[in-house]
Chains A and B, each alone.
Chain A
Amino acid sequence: MKLDLKRMLRSYGIVIAFVIICAAMTVMSPVFLTVTNVLNVVRQSSIFGIMAIGMTFVILTGGIDLSVGSILAVAGAISAGLLKGGAGIFPIVVLALVIGTGCGLANGLIITVGRIAPFVVTLGMMSIARSLTLIYTKGYPISGFSATYRFIGGGDLFSIPIPIIVFLLTVVVAWLILTQTRLGRYTYAIGGNEETVKLSGINADFYKTIVYVIAGITAGMSALILTSRLNSAEPVAGQGYELDVIAAVVIGGTSLSGGRGSVWGTLVGALLIGVINNGMNLLGISPYFQLLVKGLIIIGAVLLDRLRQEPV
């Protein structure tokens, strides 16, 4: 019985932490557990949550992608610009995803063909994509879109906000990919032992490239939702998002060294960060302190993960 409790804590520690924090928030703020606020929290979490799903693939292979925030910005800016220029919504949606794909593909190819560490390559891409955004927007926001476009980020379907639906669909699709397809199983295996994968006759470089493409696509998806929701594509959009995104993955129990983790963990991790952001606002905690709290929670989550790995 005692052992079971330990195991429960190990497997569901993050869920338990999430429930405790939510309970505490409910007690401390009467607004927290209202339909409006809950939907608000989840909607806000969706934007970086979707990217966190893409990041889960990358981190599962033992890699990292620092450029997702900048990819979001460049995809958002260019599609907003063309939208203002009169392009149709469907082509714009495709375009945002293609820009994300392109940036991710560039990341992946440089990492695998050039044999350069993912940290370095995506750090470079983070800078390049941001610069492209600034060049394209000349530093000014591009705003004011049609109601149809604003529906993507602001609309509801059966009174559920569209971003939440997209987020949950992304989680389910990612879960199917990770558990039911070769790409998914190889993603785990590459993170566990890349040499074994290569010697097993698998083109590991191909699959490693694909995970960066997936991260890029999710950044493109978030770009559409964010620009539509804000009714504006900001040149500084997504700045610092990589931190929340990576934090959501890590808090969700995915190992930074690769090979272990799940999208369900990332889902909870993203919601947890959303709740913390929202909760601190509700409680009127100064923004100066908010980063501090978030930083402590990230480190705490990794410590928890460390403890989970200790042998029994």
Chain B
Amino acid sequence: METLLRMTGISKSFPGVTALKGVDYDLQKGEVHALVGENGAGKSTLMKILAGVYRADDGEIWLKDQRITPTGPRSMIHAGVSVIYQELTLVPDLSVAENIFLGREPQRAGGLIDWKKMWAEVEKLLEPFNLSLNPRAKIHAIGPAYQQVVEIAKALSLKADIIVMDEPTAPLTGGEVDKLFEIIRNLKAGGVSVAYISHRLEELHEVADRVTVLRDGERIVTSALADLTVDDIIRHMVGRNLTEQYPRVEDTEGEEVLRVEGLSKRGVCSDVSFSARRGEILGFAGLVGAGRTEIMQLLYGYRRRDSGRVFLQGREVRIRSTRDAVRSGIALIPEERKKQGLVLGLSVMDNSALTIFDLHTTFGFIRWPDIAQRVMEMVRNLGIRTPSLRQEVKNLSGGNQQKVVLSKWFVRNCDVYIFDEPTRGIDVGAKAEIYKLMQSLARNGASIIMISSDLPEVMNMANRILVVYGGRIVKEFRRGEGTEEQVMSYALGLGGSAAGHGIAQGARE
């Protein structure tokens, strides 16, 4: 085996934090080497050093037996390292081909772009992927899976032999994940090495050869994946045994809090009816795009619905705006928490109080002491680590930002909390914390609605599961009823008939 990349003794500090302490990492030719760890463990920092975005304080980087000192992202791209970031960096209004050749467009005499040549080259690049992807299609018109393929094709066109993938499967559905893995296997066969960052530990065994676990900036272990189970990896990540990832869920027969009748919107969902009880966690399972998020946004007044009635504690409420929803006691914690849940440039206080300013004013003036007290309490309860309430949210770590979004809703004391994919993209330890929080909300009498694409999660956490397919609720499971395979079969629109292991495997996420 040929060693393509060797990073040794990499250290990096930021003001007040040591991000990496003498970490080693290497890539053999044609291997996938996974990098895992909790948020803040140092994965991203390590990869940014490899990408030339950060400069290491200490340590060496060797590429093919040659020591190099990255001078910036450009120098590393030239050296054959391409990074596919979690937030894709494509230009939505340009075509697939233009994105791949951005800044390197083939030209004809007179500076005109040689479109034919560009399209032909892109087709050649995409050929091994065996997809029907038109080089002329605009990026915004193709799905997230294809967008990722475009990023990979771009990397290949840059003659990259090392590709860093940061959480590549996060936006993908089950079938798309399989497709991506196939592409990664193709890359391996072509001698490309992949540094693979992921929180989805279950998928590592399918795609990676080796794994390195980081914890608090230190390398804990590097091992062939065949020698480690998922439980082993978790233990290394958190440094303790996570014997019980999901808290015990109590069965509840509380009275009905929320009832939705005949919620419809053309092209989005039709005749959706359900109810949620006090103290209950109601799971919404289904595939990405089944309409779960849209149903909740209609209920919440964020989108206009064609028809449908909403009852709270048996009384009909008119919800025509998010303001109506919040005043009636409904909270929606959106999926894209950073983009939809926070104002990054404002303080922890302003963000947390955004939902309660209307409750604490006298003659229009905000009673800051009251607000400060409530926010302070919530910050303490949730264990948000911030130097002060005046700290701008953008300076907090990702995990603490997540908690600020929660604090913003918890201070309002709502009756119904709708969580949209509450644990997407967060690490194991933080997940367990979120589960506990959801449960304590339920225990205190709230109704929780949880949209989740993570089947084990929804099956372990929810009292009841509603499966959504094509904008309709197609099946209800009570807790303990049904298997993952059965739920997945309904989510795929196959009914109970085709419940089989093969289907469930592909669409597990």
Interface string of B359-395 (1 = CB under 8 A from A): 0010011101000000000000000000000000000
Interface size on B, residues (CB 8 A): 30
Does B344 touch A at the CB level, under 8 Å? Answer: yes
The listed residue (B323, B346, B353, B365) touching A201 by CB distance below 8 A is: B323
Which residues on the B side are within 8 Å of A201 (C-beta)? 322-323, 325-327, 355
Which residues on the B side are within 8 Å of A195 (C-beta)? 339-340
Which residues on the A side are within 8 Å of B368 (C-beta)? 180
Given contacts A182-B364, A189-B354, contact A200 B322 (CB under 8 A): yes
Which residues on the B side are within 8 Å of A188 (C-beta)? 343, 345-346, 350
Interface string of A159-192 (1 = CB under 8 A from B): 0000000000000000010001111011011001
B54-90, CB < 8 A from A: none
On whether the beta carbons of A180 and B332 are closer than 8 Å, the reply is: no
Interface string of A197-211 (1 = CB under 8 A from B): 111111100000000
Q: Which B residue's beta carbon lies closest to that of A312? A: B15
B331-356, CB < 8 A from A: 332, 334, 339-346, 350, 353-355
On whether the beta carbons of A196 and B364 are closer than 8 Å, the reply is: no
Does A259 touch B at the CB level, under 8 Å? Answer: yes
Interface string of B212-241 (1 = CB under 8 A from A): 000000000000000000000000000000
Interface string of B304-334 (1 = CB under 8 A from A): 0000000000000000011101110000101
Does B33 touch A at the CB level, under 8 Å? Answer: no
- Known pairs A185-B357, A192-B344; list 5 more (Cβ under 8 Å): A185-B353, A199-B302, A200-B322, A201-B322, A201-B327
On whether the beta carbons of B332 and A199 are closer than 8 Å, the reply is: yes
On whether the beta carbons of B340 and A260 are closer than 8 Å, the reply is: no
Q: Which A residue's beta carbon lies closest to that of B393? A: A192
On whether the beta carbons of B366 and A196 are closer than 8 Å, the reply is: no
Does A193 touch B at the CB level, under 8 Å? Answer: yes
Which residues on the A side are within 8 Å of B408 (C-beta)? 200
Given contacts A182-B364, A189-B354, A203-B321, contact A196 B341 (CB under 8 A): yes
- Nearest chain B CB to A278 CB, angstrom units: 35
Q: Which A residue's beta carbon lies closest to that of B332? A: A199
Q: How far is the CA of A216 from the CA of B408 in the complex (A)?
A: 33
On whether the beta carbons of A192 and B343 are closer than 8 Å, the reply is: yes
On whether the beta carbons of B366 and A200 are closer than 8 Å, the reply is: no
Interface string of A74-100 (1 = CB under 8 A from B): 000000000000000000000000000
The listed residue (A181, A193, A198) touching B366 by CB distance below 8 A is: A181
Which residues on the A side are within 8 Å of B339 (C-beta)? 193, 195-196
On whether the beta carbons of A189 and B346 are closer than 8 Å, the reply is: yes
Interface size on A, residues (CB 8 A): 23
Which residues on the B side are within 8 Å of A181 (C-beta)? 361, 364-366
On whether the beta carbons of A259 and B346 are closer than 8 Å, the reply is: yes
Which residues on the B side are within 8 Å of A196 (C-beta)? 339-343, 354
- Nearest chain A CB to B270 CB, angstrom units: 24
On whether the beta carbons of B346 and A197 are closer than 8 Å, the reply is: no
B343, B345, B354: which has the most chain A beta carbons within 10 Å? B343
Does B93 touch A at the CB level, under 8 Å? Answer: no
The listed residue (B321, B354, B361, B364) touching A197 by CB distance below 8 A is: B354
On whether the beta carbons of B343 and A193 are closer than 8 Å, the reply is: yes
Which residues on the B side are within 8 Å of A197 (C-beta)? 343, 354
- Nearest chain B CB to A174 CB, angstrom units: 14
On whether the beta carbons of B340 and A199 are closer than 8 Å, the reply is: yes
10 nearest interchain CB pairs?
A201-B326, A192-B343, A193-B343, A201-B322, A182-B357, A200-B354, A259-B345, A192-B345, A189-B343, A180-B365
Interface string of B434-450 (1 = CB under 8 A from A): 00000000000000000
Which residues on the A side are within 8 Å of B332 (C-beta)? 199
Given contacts A259-B343, A259-B345, contact A199 B322 (CB under 8 A): yes
Given contacts A181-B366, A182-B357, A185-B366, contact A202 B323 (CB under 8 A): yes
Does B251 touch A at the CB level, under 8 Å? Answer: no
Does B261 touch A at the CB level, under 8 Å? Answer: no
Does B358 touch A at the CB level, under 8 Å? Answer: yes
- Nearest chain B CB to A276 CB, angstrom units: 30
- Nearest chain B CB to A308 CB, angstrom units: 13
Interface on A for B, CB 8 Å cutoff? 176, 180-183, 185-186, 188-189, 192-193, 195-203, 259-260, 312
Q: Which A residue's beta carbon lies closest to that of B365? A: A180
- Nearest chain B CB to A106 CB, angstrom units: 23
On whether the beta carbons of B345 and A260 are closer than 8 Å, the reply is: yes
Interface string of B186-206 (1 = CB under 8 A from A): 000000000000000000000
On whether the beta carbons of B302 and A198 are closer than 8 Å, the reply is: yes
Q: How far is the CA of A259 from the CA of B347 in the complex (A)?
A: 11
Q: How far is the CA of A200 from the CA of B361 in the complex (A)?
A: 17
On whether the beta carbons of B354 and A192 are closer than 8 Å, the reply is: no
Q: How far is the CA of A260 from the CA of B326 in the complex (A)?
A: 27
- Nearest chain A CB to B64 CB, angstrom units: 33
- Nearest chain A CB to B361 CB, angstrom units: 6
Q: How far is the CA of A54 from the CA of B395 in the complex (A)?
A: 30
Q: How far is the CA of A205 from the CA of B302 in the complex (A)?
A: 13
Q: Which B residue's beta carbon lies closest to that of A180? A: B365
Q: How far is the CA of A306 from the CA of B355 in the complex (A)?
A: 32
Which residues on the B side are within 8 Å of A200 (C-beta)? 322, 326, 354-355, 408
Q: How far is the CA of A186 from the CA of B355 in the complex (A)?
A: 11
A183, A189, A200, A312: which has the most chain B beta carbons within 10 Å? A200
The listed residue (B15, B341, B364) touching A199 by CB distance below 8 A is: B341
Which residues on the A side are within 8 Å of B357 (C-beta)? 182, 185-186
Q: How far is the CA of A52 from the CA of B355 in the complex (A)?
A: 30
On whether the beta carbons of A198 and B361 are closer than 8 Å, the reply is: no
- Nearest chain A CB to B208 CB, angstrom units: 33
Which residues on the A side are within 8 Å of B340 (C-beta)? 193, 195-196, 199
Q: How far is the CA of A193 from the CA of B334 in the complex (A)?
A: 14
- Nearest chain B CB to A208 CB, angstrom units: 14
On whether the beta carbons of B346 and A192 are closer than 8 Å, the reply is: yes
On whether the beta carbons of A198 and B322 are closer than 8 Å, the reply is: yes
On whether the beta carbons of A182 and B342 are closer than 8 Å, the reply is: no
- Nearest chain B CB to A271 CB, angstrom units: 26
- Nearest chain A CB to B241 CB, angstrom units: 38
Q: How far is the CA of A263 from the CA of B323 in the complex (A)?
A: 29
Q: Which A residue's beta carbon lies closest to that of B358? A: A182
Which residues on the B side are within 8 Å of A259 (C-beta)? 343, 345-346
Which residues on the A side are within 8 Å of B358 (C-beta)? 182
Q: Which B residue's beta carbon lies closest to that of A189? A: B343
- Nearest chain B CB to A125 CB, angstrom units: 27
Q: How far is the CA of A145 from the CA of B15 in the complex (A)?
A: 64
Q: How far is the CA of A201 from the CA of B412 in the complex (A)?
A: 11
- Nearest chain A CB to B469 CB, angstrom units: 26
Q: How far is the CA of A199 from the CA of B345 in the complex (A)?
A: 17
Q: How far is the CA of A11 from the CA of B334 in the complex (A)?
A: 34
Which residues on the B side are within 8 Å of A193 (C-beta)? 339-340, 342-344
